[in-house]
């Protein structure tokens, strides 16, 4: 039988992981907007900068979101 304290800790962990995932999604959205703006500007280096942001930032953030979501699924949902 799971104690009330364990259930509370699991909820707290899930809640905190959910907040981290939300913040990562918000950061990722900001990067995606910056990438789109740089591509739209179409200056000489903007496309290169946009590619760096996409591959080095947005893609890595997506990796972290997936890891956090996997952790959330591993924490009991009671």
Long-range contacts of residues 60-65, Cβ cutoff 8 Å, at least 24 apart: 61/24, 61/27, 61/28, 61/31, 62/28, 64/24, 65/21, 65/24, 65/25, 65/28
Residue 5 has pLDDT above 60, yes or no: yes
Q: For residue range 20-42, what is the model confidence (pLDDT) as tens digits?
A: 999 999 999 999 999 888 888 87
Mean local confidence (pLDDT), 64-71: 94
List the chain domain ranges.
Answer: 7-74
pTM higher than 0.75? no
Residue 3 has pLDDT above 70, yes or no: no
């Amino acid at each position: 039988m799971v104690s009330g304290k364990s259930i509370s800790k699991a909820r707290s962990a899930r809640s905190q992981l959910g907040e981290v995932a939300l913040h990562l999604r918000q950061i990722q959205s900001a990067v995606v907007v910056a990438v789109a703006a740089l591509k739209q500007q179409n200056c000489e280096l903007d496309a290169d900068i946009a590619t760096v942001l996409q591959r080095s930032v947005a893609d890595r953030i997506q990796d972290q979101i997936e890891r956090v979501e996997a952790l959330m699924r591993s924490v009991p949902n009671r």
